[in-house]
Structure 1
Amino acid sequence: MIKNVIVRKPSKNFADGITTADLGKPDYEKALEQHEGYIEALKECGCSVTVLEADERYPDSTFVEDVAVVTEKCAIITRPGAASRKGEEKEIIDTLKKFYSNIEYLEGSACLEGGDILRIDKHFYIGQSKRTNAEGARQLTAILNKYGYTASAVPVKQILHLKTGVIYAGNNTVIAAGEFKDNDVFKKFKMIKVDDDEAYSANCVKMNGHLIIPKGFSKSKKAIVDAGFKIVEVEMSEFEKMDGGLTCLSLRIPEDSSK
């Protein structure tokens, strides 16, 4: 169950962020409208949403998931791998202190972004990508082990982040695109395979019995609905232009079911 979610408004220089999408420059006002729609979708799924003001120093700062990994037992402050994002992680600490007494930190040569972390039950898959290195994966694994979680590394060869290409939808099912459609790491799960022309739609948010999905991908929508999932659709065109998916835009704080 997710009761609390943290998001950050897009900055005015949002279009100056890092992207390889080649889909044109995002419209800032439209991005703000879509961000509001995203917040409404989270609320529709039963969440209380903490909305942080835009940080104009960091064009990519609306992608708040990358600066921390959150669990029931602790929050872990990451170390972003992109040079333009270094320091961004410090701006989430005070907000996370409102929800956590245990905050851990990656150190030294570690690089890790939250978009590379896929949690399935008590296990965390850590994508080793251009943004997350082996030392980042090692340090995160050690921290997670301390709190009773397990973790393993997964190579990410062709895409930005692990969750760009695979997410957990619940009910022992993953949604996968590209290099992860035939990846042996996920062969024990049921899999919804996304066509290459709708690859962006693989990134969805599992939220309290619903899947929040991006609008405009009819084949993926049908496959997800046919698999029995309840969906909430949101428009994401301006974030797609900046290599940003639905999971990137929030930190979703899980409740401790043992309490």
Structure 2
Amino acid sequence: MTGNPSHFTHALCRAPAPSAIHGIRADGGPDPDFAGLAAEHDAYVAALCDLGLTVEVLAPLDDFPDALFTEDVALTFPEGAILLRPGAQARAGEVAHIRDALAAHHARLLEMTGPGYADGGDILRLADRVIIGLSARTDRAGADELAKLLGQLGYRAEIAETPPGVLHFKTGCGLIDAHTILAVPELATCPQFAGLEVVLTPLGEDGAANILRVRDTVLVGDRWLATRAMLAARGIEARALPTDQIAHIDAGLSCMSLRW
């Protein structure tokens, strides 16, 4: 498997429900403002559409506060989709609610059966392989099963360690381009990044690491001014999006869509 890991044509999102303000968070903190959260989601969907993607937005699920983070419950590729087993028990029921939408777009639908767990936020797709990060939400058994399913779709997988204190693997890293990773300092020497250039997040901007490359544009949180300046200096086309409210529930830009 080789190719451009960011050349997407489609995305699947889910509108936030009012219950989203009670979404899971590792360190407590105040609830987000729902109106602000909904506005951030709208801006995100609009950006994907503006970049040329066909975006389907599913109806909100009030019984599942975190359901707007569609990336965590599945993986999507041109060759097919994989239904995952979220590591947070409260999110397990979300998988059934996304199955039909994925089946409508993917003729081949694979599914994890357990007993392990894997969250999509721990999965980083590169040009020549897929990295599965072990975390509090993705265990070794889940990573091993997912690696086998990826192999059925023709994708080679490698398993990495997510540093302590980093919720998901992609909380700490993201693609600047097919050959360059933006990462928090804790991931600077990640063995699975061998052969790639690793650029560290500017001082005080570890939260910027969850960028999202879509075609030739990098989406980045608007408050990360040093990161935006660094991307501009590298000649990267970047688009700043508001993420203040979704950050209250431990989320970033990649979480809010499934892309293929």
Question: How high is the TM-score relative to the length of structure 1?
Answer: 0.94
Q: Residue 179 in 1 paired to residue 168 in 2?
A: no
Q: Summarize the alignment of residues 54-203 of structure 1 with structure 2, pairs less than 5 Å apart.
A: 54-158=60-164, 159-203=166-210
Letter in 1 for 2:188: K
Task: Return the alpha-carbon distance in structure 2 between the equivalents of residues 214 and 23 of structure 1.
Answer: 20
- Cα root mean square deviation, aligned: 1.3
Question: In structure 2, what is the Cα distance between the partners aligned to 1:90 and 1:171?
Answer: 33
**Contact 1:109-1:135 at 8 Å conserved across structures:** yes
How many Å apart are 1:60 and its aligned residue?
A: 0.6
2:253 corresponds, among 246, 249, 252, to 246
Provide the secondary structure at the position in 2 that maps to 1:75.
strand
Q: Give the aligned partner of residue 3 of structure 2.
A: none
Matched residues in 1 for 2:232 and 2:8: separation?
A: 22
C-alpha displacement of 1:168: 1.7
| Residues 28-60 of structure 1: per-residue CA shift (max 9 Å, x gap) | 011111111001111111111101111001111
Runs of 4+ in 1 over 4 A off after TM superposition: none
Tell me by how many angstroms 1:183 deviates.
Answer: 2.4
Which residue of structure 2 lines up, in the alignment, with residue 19 of structure 1?
25
Q: 1:235 aligns with which of 228, 242, 252?
A: 242
Seq. identity, %: 28
Q: How far apart, in 2, do the equivalents of 1:130 and 1:5 lie?
A: 26
CA deviation string 1:161-218 (max 9, x = no partner): 1100011221410010141123233242112210352111111111011001110111
Structure 1 CA distance for aligned equivalents of residues 193 and 174 of structure 2: 10
Partner amino acid, structure 2, of 1:217: W
Query: Matches of residues 31-50 of structure 1 in structure 2 within 5 Å?
Result: 31-50=37-56
One-letter code of the match for 1:35?
H
Partner residue, 1:256:
none
Aligned partner of 2:4 in structure 1 is none
Deviates more, 1:184-193 or 1:147-156: 184-193
**Aligned residue-pair number:** 253
Normalization by structure 2: what TM-score? Answer: 0.94
- Residue 215 of structure 2, aligned match among 208, 220, 242: 208
SS at match of 1:76: strand
| Secondary structure of residue in 1 paired with 2:189 | coil
> Which secondary structure does the structure 2 equivalent of 1:66 belong to?
helix
Secondary structure of the structure 2 residue equivalent to 1:135: helix
Letter in 2 for 1:141: A
